[in-house]
């Protein structure tokens, strides 16, 4: 859902995204930052907001359909955080 609000010549955009919207945005981010023209990705959100919320993702080239068989909850248990922030 997207709302436009105009206040004193300033535009503000308000966004409210559900889980699927968030995951789609993140998948597109991975695609944009990939060296490949064609990628596949699978992502899930785990944890609780303001406690331990985290994204687990696997990204591969567009030929790698087996990546959809990856158990991301198992990957969560095996790897440390590797984000850039």
* Residues 23-75: tens digit of each pLDDT: 889 888 888 887 777 788 888 999 998 999 999 999 888 888 899 999 999 99
| 4 beta partners | 13
* CA torsion through residues 22, 27, 28, 30, sign: positive
Domain boundaries, the chain: 18-78
Query: Quick check: pTM over 0.85?
Result: no
* 8 Å CB contact between 1 and 13: no
Predicted pLDDT at 63: 84
Q: Tell me, rounded to whole angstroms, the distance of Cα 42 from its chain centroid.
A: 9
């Amino acid at each position: 859902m997207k709302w436009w609000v105009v206040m004193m010549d300033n535009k503000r955009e308000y966004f409210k995204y559900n889980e699927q919207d968030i995951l789609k945005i993140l998948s597109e981010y991975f695609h944009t930052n990939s060296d490949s023209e064609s990628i596949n990705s699978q992502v899930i959100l785990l944890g609780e907001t303001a406690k331990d919320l985290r994204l687990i993702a696997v990204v591969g080239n567009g030929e790698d359909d087996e990546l959809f068989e990856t158990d991301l909850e198992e990957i969560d248990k095996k790897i440390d955080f590797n984000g850039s922030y």
